Amino acid sequence: MILSVSRRTDIPNYYSDWFFNRIKEGFLYVRNPMNHHQVSKILLNKDIVDCIVFWTKNPSKMIPGLSQLAGYSYYFQYTLNGYDKSIEKHVPDLDESIDIFKNLSCKIGKEKVIWRYDPIFISEKYSLSSQIERFRYILERIASYTNTCIISFIDMYVKNTFRLQDIRQLTNDEINEFSKAISQEAEKHSIKIKTCAETVDLDCFNIQHGSCIDKKTIEEIIGCQISGKKDSGQRLECGCMESREVGSYNSCLNGCIYCYASYDEASVINNMKNHDVNSPLLIGNITKEDKITAPKLKSLKKLQYDFFDL
């Protein structure tokens, strides 16, 4: 089983103590976002959890406790954009984020820290040339601390469009110009660039389609092959493997205006007030109306003789 921690909220930033408690207890509960009283019990046994994928814009609070994950395999999807507070309200300033990125990489190894430059958009303040320059600035400072960069271009969701009135998507020509420029920079530093959930073909710039929960990356980290299929719950363009998501919507205080997962500030504040670090649920506690089920979970690892093709 692959554990996603989390597409829906920044658990390393805001809920790392809760997650470490769940590791100690050996299980957690996840509410079905479409059916509030339907709750799944997810076991966290080391023989079941093949890899944990963390998603974050600020893992500084989690870094001191990483020793509590001894025996687990994991890596981080670390979003580092350098947008100002009007775009990412509670994300650290760029140079501070770069220092945190370096610290994490030194702790766990650069192969386990994936840089996300995401989402890419155009506005009056963030022109195409400024996006290229910002990418270059970050790349030059973290190139020795990662192997891979994941990029994606902004998607306009119904839940976030009203906040994005001054932001627009890139045209095809702008995508090509941006991709050509950053691929040249990345090549100088031996950094691989991949796209996330994009249909656009950028192979001519040596930018391939990628995935965040990536089979090859996981296999390299855990040292054996895994089985598993594409996650049918994600968008058609998404190449991620199937995983168990542990987060909750409207529970992240980063305040990113483009976010599809935390789009109601009042709900975010209320949910964070209802967070109990000792609860098996990320938000709130189990009630008598809840129905708890335990899905059958298993490791995706193949037998060793399959991995070595014996």
3-state helix, strand, coil in the chain (%, to 5): 35, 25, 45
pLDDT of residue 305: 45
CA-based nearest residue to 194, from 177, 182, 209: 209
Maximum distance among all Cα pairs of the chain, rounded to whole angstroms: 59
Which of 55 and 163 is assigned the larger pLDDT?
55
Report which of 155, 200, 196, 197 is spatially closest to residue 180, judged by C-alpha positions.
Answer: 200
Model pLDDT for residues 230-267, shown as the tens digit of each residue: 888 888 888 899 999 999 999 999 999 999 999 889 99
- pLDDT tens readout for residues 258-299: 999 998 899 999 999 999 999 999 999 999 999 999 999 999
Q: Where are the alpha helices (DSSP H) in 26-154?
A: 94-108, 128-142
CB neighbourhood size of 248 (10 A):
23
pLDDT at 158 over 90: no
pTM: 0.95
